[in-house]
Each structure stands twice: as C-alpha cells, then as structure tokens.
Amino acid sequence: MSALGLIPCSGCEKCQDATVTSGVRGGRRRGVEYLAVAFGGVLGVLARYGLAQWIDTGKRTFPWPTFAANVSGAFVLGCFLAVMSRRSSDARVPKAFVAGGLLGSFTTFSAVAVETSLLVGDDSPLLAMGYVVATMLTGLVAVAVGAALGRRGLWRVANQR
Amino acid sequence: MRVWLELALAGAIGAPLRMYLIDLVDISPRRGRIGVSIPAGTLVVNAVGSLMAGFLAGLVRYQGLSVSTQVVLGAGFCGAFTTFSTFAFETVRFIEQGQPWNATKNTTASLACGALAASVGMAAASLL
C-alpha cells in the first residue's frame, strides 16, 4: 500500500482511473448513489451555511468561513478515503454519500474564486493572493494529514490509553 | 427558516449534478485524445460553478439582485456544485503517485480557470 493509503492498489485500471466517489469504470451509477449524493449534499450545504453564520466575518477581510470549511472538509475526506481504501469492497454508496455529497458540498471552490476576485476588485490584491495560497497549501496538507491519520487507524490511536 | 429549506433544495440538486458531470467528463472518449492527464471533470465543474457564482455576485453588485437570492443560488447551488475537497484529494493523490508535475498542473489550472471564470461572470453581469 502507498505511504498515505490513498492508492488502494497499484496497476489496477479501475483504481487508477477512479474518481473520488469511486470509478465509473466499475459500472453505471445506480439511482441509490445519486440519492446518497443528494442527501449528503443537503447536509453539506446546511453545515457550511451554519458555519458561515457562526463565524461571520465582514467584507474586505480574510474569508475565514470558506477557509475553515474547505480545510476541515479536506482533512476529513483524506481520513475517510484512507480508511475506505483499507477495505476490500468498493463501498460506492458510502463513498457517494460522504465524499461526493457531504464533503463535496461542504467544501466549495466557487466561493474561493468569487471571494478572490472580489478582494482583487476591492484593491486588496495581497490579501487575495494570501487567501488563495493559504487555502491551497493548508487544504493539501489537510488531506495528507487526514489520510495519514486514517491509515494508521484513528480507532487505534483512541484506544492506546 | 425558509432560507434553510431553499439551501437544502439547492444542495440536493447541485451535488448530484456535480457527480453526473464529473462522471460524464471523466469517461468522455475525447479525454484520451486531447491528452488530459489531470482530473478534467473536477476542473470543469469548478470552472462552470465559479462562472455562475461570479455572475451572481456581479448581479448583486451591479443589478441589485437580493443577497438572499445570492445566498441560495451562489452559496447553496454553486457551492454544492463545486468542490474543494475532491480537488485537494486528487492533487495529493498525484503527489503520492510520484507525479508532482501533474499536482502542480492541476492546482494551477484549477486556480486560473476558477478565478478567470468568476471574473468573467462578474464582468458579464456588469454589462447587462
């Protein structure tokens, strides 16, 4: 298995070509997968909106709500997929629900793009650049750290004491 | 209360639509021919969603669209339709597969397309 456990196996065509919610090569999407994604999507959107209400920053400042949602969502996704890759079944419905629906909708790319161009338009190009770089770096590190923890097994860490 | 219901509906539509489009792009037979090594499905949905979200932000700024409509369609629908976590995962997977060049390409392309799309959307709204 790979270092972070994000690649379930090497050389297998299905895994190499897999999308996050599991590869379409494994057969057509079933209706239940769309249902799972839709349900997860509802929860993800509401959670992100709730977070934004809770943190709520003003204009022309660092967009903390989006940043927090994206980084935490990336962390959980890394962890979840690393845990799932330890299993032999491809578990398409749980993956569709958590990875595609819940975390896919909780995190957002469009808000990053819009907030960045608004900051640039508001004569805060440095803040805009800092926001983008911080989101990218922290988000990628979050996936890796989450995956490393997931691979080691969070349950074992919890049971060590 | 009503905004939560509308947001829920936006998420219930945006997320499955994203999965459908990502599948559609990633299994497209054209993909191999144009030699796309990066996950094109995620890139496309993120760019399209950023375009729409930029357009909505522009409508609020220039055309007086209500912020509550922008919340539902922008934060709700476009937010659910686009995704950061999938993008981040696919980028880290490139690094783990020993393809840092593809990780760099994916990050740069996603950022450039997203920011450009949002700006174009916003500019388009100002021209209405």
The answer, for A145 touching chain B at a CB cutoff of 8 Å, is no
* Chain A interface, best mutation among B46, B85, B91, by max A CB count within 10 A: B85
Residues 6+ apart with CB under 8 A from B59: B65, B70, B125, B128
Tell me: pLDDT of B119 over 60: yes
pLDDT in tens, A142-161: 999 999 998 887 666 666 65
Question: Tokens 């021919």 map to which residue?
Answer: B33
Q: Which amino acid is at A77?
A: L
Q: Do B12 and A39 make contact, defined as CB atoms within 8 angstroms?
A: yes
Give me the mean pLDDT over the B98-125 stretch.
95
A150 touches B at CB < 8 Å: no
How far apart are alpha carbons B54 and B120 in whole angstroms? Answer: 7
Closest-CA residue of chain B to A65: B75
Which DSSP state fits A24? Answer: G
pLDDT tens, position by position, B63-91: 999 999 999 999 999 999 999 999 999 99
* A143 part of contact set with chain B, CB < 8 Å: yes
**Tens-digit pLDDT profile for residues A14-25:** 444 444 554 445
Measured torsion, CA atoms of residues B19, B74, B79, A117, in degrees rounded to the nearest 10: 120
B54 vs A39, A100, A117: nearest CB:
A117
Whether residue B84 contacts residue B19, with contact meaning beta carbons closer than 8 Å, is answered with no
Other C-beta atoms lying within 10 Å of the C-beta of residue A149: 16
Cβ contact (<8 Å) for B15 and A52? no
Is the Cβ pair B88, A142 closer than 8 Å?
yes
Global confidence as pTM: 0.89
Tokens (6 digits) for B20 = 């459908």
- Flag if A100 and B19 touch (Cβ within 8 Å): yes
* Exposure string over A96-108, b if 16+ CB within 10 A, otherwise e: bbbbbbbbbbbbb
Angle, CA B54 vertex, CA B113 and CA A76 arms, to 5°? 65
Please determine, for residue A1, whether its predicted confidence score (pLDDT) is greater than 60: no
